[in-house]
Amino acid sequence: MMELLNKMRDVMGIPFYPIVFQALMVLTFAIHITFVNIVMGGTAVSLYGRLKGGDYWIKLSKAFARTSTIMTSLAIVMGVAPLLFVQVIYDPFWYSSAQMSAWWTLLFLTAIALAFTFAYLFYLGKGEHGGSLFWNMASLASLILAAVIIHALSMQMLHPEKWSQWITASGKVNLHGTGLHAIDIPRLLHFLIPSLAIAGVYMMLYGWYFRGKYSDSYTEWVASTGAKLALYASCAQGLVGLLWLATTPTKFMFHPITIICVLAAASFVGYLFKLKGDYREKALVTATFAFIVVLLMSIARELLRYTTLTSAGYSLYNYKMNLDPKSTLLFFATFVMGILVISYPIAVTFKLGRKKDTEIAQLEELNTLGKVAAALPVVWFVVVALLGIVISLKNGTLF
């Protein structure tokens, strides 16, 4: 099987060292899953707030309705990067899993689109309490469906030894792509429950950010309620995580990185237990701590995939490499440019969001950043166009 999988690799190889793609995959996945958690947890909190009622809960429900539309966009955009890196270094496994469940893969994209649409319909509702409750419930259901599908696809790629069994389960070869073959409930819950914890941390940030724009009583209530949600969800996450960890290979369970991740998660729970006072003041520290834990969990997730597949005879580090530092340099330059370009609208949005409706935002200090952000795409286009012309002339393909 592994000999076949190795032959399924891209014959062109990869343009740079595999460990770089692996590191970028982990980092971008951590950012992506943070946005996903805010969307899923925020949608659940929005639904609860709508059902709970009361001025504060309704106001928070509407706030999360707006947040979900924005965070869904960010989650989709950031989700492209780790998926591309997976396709580069784990292509035989990902493509095989996607083909075995082709209909479900397409349904995943449909579910994401529906969740995004339903979230907008709920956000745009003009009722006293916001949009129709149906749209909120439909959005959450679509998100859960998408989570189950992507979980199963990720699990299927870890078990190539079962692929032939899955596609011949009916007694004959079934290549219709209608099956969904691997669902691990503890691991799925280990993916879903943190969304509530991260939503709680986001509520703390919400209270910190809007302090001064909204009443102190409301922002402190949001922050304190978020801290409690983060604590309860993190405790539940810890229990489910230990249950799931007990089902993993011994080599992974007792790996130093896994132990560090468990200790970090336990430390975060302990930190939340001891959190007292004005929760708004501690929002930034809490959010930083939470992201570190998410990043470590992302590393552990990749460690599990790596140890599982290397134990079966596959190593991403012996992937054929055609070193191309120029294209890699262009990639990183584009990445840095993207960060600089997007930093301007983020900075403007951050400053405008904290202003009261009666205030006029003074954003002159961002003028230089705005000019740089506007000029960089033009420079990038010129550089890429010139490179294309030079390479075409060199290869004799332009004329």
Q: Indicate the domain borders of the chain.
A: 2-323, 330-399
| pLDDT tens column, 326-344 | 888 888 888 888 888 888 8
Q: Which positions ≥6 away from 181 have C-beta within 8 Å? A: 100, 101, 152, 156, 162, 166
Distance CA 224, CA 216 (A): 12
Average pLDDT in the 278-307 region?
94
| pLDDT tens column, 357-372 | 545 555 677 788 888 8
> Sign (positive/negative) of CA torsion 315, 320, 321, 327?
negative
pLDDT given at position 398:
64
| pLDDT over 90 at 273, yes or no | yes
Q: Which positions ≥6 away from 368 have C-beta within 8 Å? A: none
Question: Which pTM value belongs to this model?
Answer: 0.90
Average pLDDT in the 11-25 region?
90
- Tokens matching residue 23: 């590191």
By the 10 Å C-beta count (0-12 exposed, 13-18 middle, 19+ buried), 155 is classed as middle
Q: At what angle do helices 102-123 and 133-156 cross, to 10 degrees?
A: 150
Smallest Cα–Cα separation from 27: which of 243, 241, 279, 301? 301
pLDDT given at position 197:
96
pLDDT confidence band for 356 (50 / 70 / 90)? low
- H-type alpha helices, 214-360: 216-245, 250-253, 256-274, 283-311, 325-353
| pLDDT tens column, 375-385 | 999 998 998 88
| pLDDT over 60 at 38, yes or no | yes
High-pLDDT (> 90) share of the chain, %: 45
C-alpha separations of 33 from 163, 291, 298 in Å:
27, 10, 9
- Mean residue pLDDT of the chain comes to 88
pLDDT given at position 152:
93
C-alpha separations of 18 from 93, 215, 319, 323 in Å:
16, 51, 7, 11
| pLDDT tens column, 148-177 | 999 999 999 988 888 888 888 777 777 788
- Residues 41 and 198 sit within 8 Å (Cβ to Cβ): yes
Q: What single-letter amino acid sits at 335?
A: F
